[in-house]
Each structure stands twice: as structure tokens, then as C-alpha cells.
């Protein structure tokens, strides 16, 4: 969910001038011929500012919910009106006629008690591949005097798909021992999503395990989750570059090149990439080295030889036991 900033906004009505006209009525021939002046009774219309505490946008799967807390300055209990447009570019152009300026855009409307309220835009047509934010712009008004324009038109900006990724290497990496990395993911978009995480390296000095289901739980806006791929260093002779690739499972965009993925942003200095499956992926690069040694280092070949020797010993012992049982 995205919030408007600042948290408290004063929506000020434009000035209106009300003129009371005296009505002159000439009676018919079957009545008195005198001219009667009908004076209007005393009428009082109060136009006061609207206080907007917050404006929020949240996707709920097929609907964009717009929520607010809007009250009158005096605190009077009365109805309040709102009309909210999705991705209207110039709502205040041409004399602040937001309805004309935003014609053709998807919108929702509300008229009801002042205070906490909201409306929902059905089937929102988000702009996904936009490095800038989407927006919802609302006009608030008093239903008793709907022609009064309250300015400014408050807006909330958001991105449908947006997330941050950070990778924390293990504090201690020991040659030959598997350790987990912490891949932290924060959802900054308004669409709830799970994330697929895949770690890899081109080095032959490390073994990577991503797990059977390398996918996180589903998280909402401003929530965080994590994945834990494992790495086993086979040598401390060199530093290994690990590439952690993360993609949103809720992202509907199908890419054909890396340039199509600029909207998800970079991770450090690494640009995003278009995966072979046509999905935009955020790529993080992290350097891993083994500084502590628990066994002598034979290099990759030496470690493989030790593993083969151990397997041979186990196999020989098993055959020996079977032969004793047969005797």
C-alpha cells in the first residue's frame, strides 16, 4: 500500500459568490393588480476546507483500492464526495477541470460519510514497464456544493512491481562446509508477490544449492521475506563471484531483451536481465571467499580424490560384512 506525502493536507475550496435575487411576480387578471415582491429567506451555505489525513492505494487482485481519511475543517458530520482517476497525466490543466482532463481514464467514485472511506477501480490498467511511478489522483468535494473545486488534487504514486534485494554472505565460510546465504527481499510494489531466487556461479571452486523449491512466501507492500541458498567452497585460493537472480512471480511482463527490464531497477552495479523464460530478473553479485580452513586444501582434484577414496572404503567394508554374514 502506498501513502500520500505529506500525511496531512488542507484542500482549500475556490471562492464562490452567491447572489440572492428578488422575484417580481405580476398576478393574473382575476386577482389584485398590485406588484408583489417576494424576498428570499435567510440562507446560509458554509464552505470550509477538507482535511485529508492520508491517501492510499492497494491492489487486491483485479481491483485497485483507493483509501483515505477525509474530514471537514470544523469536524461537522456530513457527506463527502470523491472521484479518483488512474494515471491521469495533467489533472489541473485548463482551469482545473479534472473530469475533462482525465476523460477516458479508469476511475472510481464515492459519496458518503466524512472520515475513513474509499472506492475501487476495477481491472486497473497499470503501466508496468515504466521507470516512473503510476499514480492515482482524486478530487474531493462537498456534495451540497459539488461545483466548488477543492485544490490541490491529492495524488498517490506507486509501482505495480517493485522490490529490493540484498545478499548477506555468511560471517564464516569454511572450506568443504556448506553455509547459507541470506537473500533479503522487500516488496515495494502494490501487488502482492512471491519471489523466485536462484544463485549460481561460473567458478568451479564452489558448489551452489538452491533447494527443491527456490520460491519465497507471498508478501504484501512494505513486507519482507528471505531465501537461503547454500554454498560450499572447495578452495580458498580464489574469491568466487556469486550471482543471485530474483524475479517476481506476479510480474506479467514478458521481456525479449535486457533493455525491457529497466523498470525493476539495479542491484548494486548490476543491471537487470531478461531470463531465458522471458521474465525480468534482478541480478545481485556478491564476492565469497573462504578464510578459515578446517582441512588441508588439496584443490578441487584433491577433494574429489578424497571423496572417491571414502566411497571405496565404505563399499569395501559393506562387502566384507556381507561375506561374513554368508559364512
Q: How many CA atoms lie within 13 A of 163 on its CB side?
A: 37
What pTM, to 2 d.p., does this model score?
0.74
**Nearest Cα residue to 135 out of 193, 90, 70:** 90
The Cα–Cα gap between 66 and 160 comes to 14
User: What is the CB neighbour count within 10 angstroms for residue 156?
Assistant: 24
82-92 per-residue burial string, b: 16 or more CB within 10 A, e: under 16: bbbbbbbeebe
Handedness of CA 245, 284, 192, 134 (dihedral sign): negative
Tell me the β-bridge partners of 208: 231
Domains observed in the chain: 2-158 (2.60.40), 163-288 (2.60.40.10)
- Report the relative pairing of strands 163-168 and 206-209 from DSSP bridges: unpaired
- pLDDT one digit per residue (tens) for the chain, 327 residues: 665 433 345 666 643 322 222 222 222 333 333 433 444 445 566 689 999 999 999 999 999 999 999 999 999 999 999 999 999 999 999 889 999 999 999 999 999 999 999 999 999 999 999 888 999 999 999 999 999 999 999 999 999 999 999 999 876 788 999 999 999 999 999 999 999 999 999 999 999 999 766 789 999 999 999 999 999 999 888 899 999 999 999 999 999 999 999 999 999 889 999 999 999 999 999 999 886 554 444 344 544 554 555 455 445 445 544 454 455
How many CB atoms within 10 Å of residue 161?
Answer: 22
Distance CA 300, CA 79 (A): 75
Backbone angles phi, psi at 78, to 5 degrees: -155, 165
Amino acid at each position: 500500500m502506498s501513502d500520500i506525502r505529506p500525511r496531512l493536507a488542507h484542500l482549500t475550496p475556490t471562492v464562490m459568490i452567491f447572489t440572492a435575487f428578488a422575484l417580481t411576480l405580476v398576478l393574473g387578471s382575476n386577482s389584485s393588480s398590485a406588484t408583489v415582491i417576494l424576498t428570499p429567506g435567510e440562507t446560509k451555505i458554509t464552505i470550509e476546507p477538507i482535511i485529508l489525513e492520508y491517501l492510499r492505494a492497494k491492489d487486491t487482485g483485479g481491483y485497485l483500492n483507493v483509501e483515505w481519511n477525509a474530514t471537514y475543517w470544523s469536524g461537522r458530520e456530513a457527506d463527502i464526495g470523491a472521484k479518483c482517476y488512474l494515471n491521469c497525466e495533467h489533472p489541473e490543466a485548463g482551469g482545473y477541470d479534472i473530469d475533462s482532463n482525465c476523460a477516458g481514464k479508469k476511475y472510481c467514485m464515492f459519496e458518503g460519510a466524512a472520515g475513513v472511506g474509499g472506492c475501487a477501480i476495477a481491472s486497473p490498467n497499470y503501466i508496468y514497464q515504466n521507470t516512473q511511478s503510476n499514480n492515482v489522483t482524486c478530487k474531493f468535494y462537498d456534495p451540497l456544493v459539488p461545483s466548488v473545486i477543492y485544490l490541490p488534487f491529492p495524488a498517490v504514486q506507486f509501482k505495480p512491481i517493485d522490490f529490493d534485494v540484498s545478499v548477506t554472505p555468511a560471517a564464516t565460510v569454511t572450506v568443504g562446509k556448506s553455509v547459507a546465504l541470506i537473500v533479503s527481499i522487500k516488496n515495494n510494489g502494490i501487488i502482492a508477490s512471491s519471489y523466485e531466487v536462484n544463485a549460481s556461479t561460473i567458478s568451479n571452486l564452489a558448489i551452489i544449492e538452491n533447494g527443491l523449491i527456490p520460491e519465497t512466501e507471498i508478501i504484501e507492500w512494505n513486507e519482507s521475506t528471505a531465501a537461503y541458498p547454500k554454498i560450499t567452497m572447495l578452495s580458498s585460493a580464489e574469491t568466487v563471484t556469486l550471482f543471485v537472480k530474483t524475479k517476481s512471480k506476479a510480474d506479467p511482463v514478458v521481456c525479449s531483451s535486457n533493455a525491457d527490464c529497466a523498470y525493476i531497477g539495479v542491484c548494486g552495479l548490476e543491471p537487470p536481465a531478461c531470463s531465458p523464460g522471458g521474465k525480468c530478473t534482478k541480478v545481485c553479485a556478491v564476492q565469497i571467499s573462504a578464510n578459515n580452513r578446517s582441512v588441508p586444501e588439496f584443490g578441487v582434484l584433491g577433494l574429489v580424490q578424497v571423496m572417491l577414496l571414502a566411497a571405496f572404503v565404505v563399499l569395501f567394508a559393506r562387502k566384507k560384512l556381507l561375506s561374513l554374514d554368508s559364512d
